Amino acid sequence: MFVIASPGQGSQKPGFLSPWLEHPEHAATVGRWSESLGIDLVTHGTTSDLETITDTAIAQPLIVAAGILTGRALLAALPEDQLLSFAGHSVGEFSAAALSGVLTDEDALSLVALRGKAMAQASALEATGMAAIIGGEIDQVEAALVAAGLHPANYNGGGQVVAAGAQSALDAFATAPPAGMRVIPLTVAGAFHTPYMASAVQALAEAAAKTPSQDPRSPLYTNRDGSRVNTGRDALAYLVDQVARPVRWDYCMASFEKDNIEGMIELAPAGALAGLAKRALKGTPTVALNNPDDINTARDMVIAS
């Protein structure tokens, strides 16, 4: 079984959708989604600059749209009887929910657009941010973050924890990090997956309560604890509360290893999760889908297994 992985916020790069939108069918699909959401995903995926697509309200629907678009293209190219599983990192869980059948593409995009707007509003209340912490044992990193008044927001595996909190506290931590730890600021605009996002949780919960869901048609892993989600309602509930809860991508990768995943294919905008897998899942083949030609590489990997 192969896992199809959808990346999270911070993976976006200027112009990353350009090679995909050269295909008229893909361009028409993203154009239709743009009209529905009132967000010009075509422009943001092709010509908008990094500052523009770092805006949470734009980045989140753009990343999820890319995941769904490239995921559908990948599924169309793979054998129909191929066993697949799905997972997403943070906002990428919305792409995974759509591709596994929990949500329609349109409902996933509608919810994530609301999520992005609500998280942007929550971020505007106070100057906050996120930074990757490289090095140190998990318990040492956690203790250092607590002492600095910060929160562990993402446990990414491969020796990486992402810290979040007040920008002043992040700056102070980066200026004098504990021995053996390196701090890398991330291009996100708030302290995601922490209590700073409480107001966004409430807004998303109200919308999710009105959104239909189906049980996953394929195995779907959750960032909550790396387990498989059994019902659509559970999946939807987890999408809501993960806004203010740490992402346990390390647990997801541990589950991939336990379940003997044969390989991982990362959807656009790809690279971050494939990099983590190469460090934490040594020997597991990975393919990053950054242009349509990469689908052929992914298909060949799957067929050869």
Which residues fall within 8 angstroms of residue 289, CB to CB, at 6 or more apart? 70, 74, 265, 266, 267, 268, 270, 295, 298
CB neighbours of residue 104 within 10 Å: 15
Residue 231: how many other CB atoms lie within 10 Å: 13
Choosing from 34, 90, 110, 123, which is the catalytic residue? Answer: 90
Give the number of other Cβ atoms within 10 Å of residue 217's Cβ: 12
Quote the CA–CA distance of 108 and 30 in Å, as a whole number. 14
State the sign of the Cα–Cα–Cα–Cα dihedral 57, 233, 2, 247.
positive
**Measured in whole angstroms, how far is the alpha carbon of residue 190 from the centre of its chain?**
15
User: Comparing C-alpha atoms, which of 249, 222, 247, 252 is closest to residue 237?
Assistant: 222
Out of 48, 95, 193, 213, the active site residue is: 193
What are the helix (H) ranges across 124-166?
A: 138-147
CA distance 83 to 259: 12
Whole-angstrom distance, CA of residue 251 vs CA of residue 111? 25
User: What is the sign, positive or negative, of the torsion defined by CA atoms of 42, 44, 45, 47?
Assistant: positive
Of the chain, the end-to-end C-alpha distance in Å amounts to 9
Burial class (CB in 10 A: 0-12, 13-18, 19+), 83: exposed
Question: Is there a catalytic annotation at residue 193?
Answer: yes
Active site residues per annotation = 90, 193
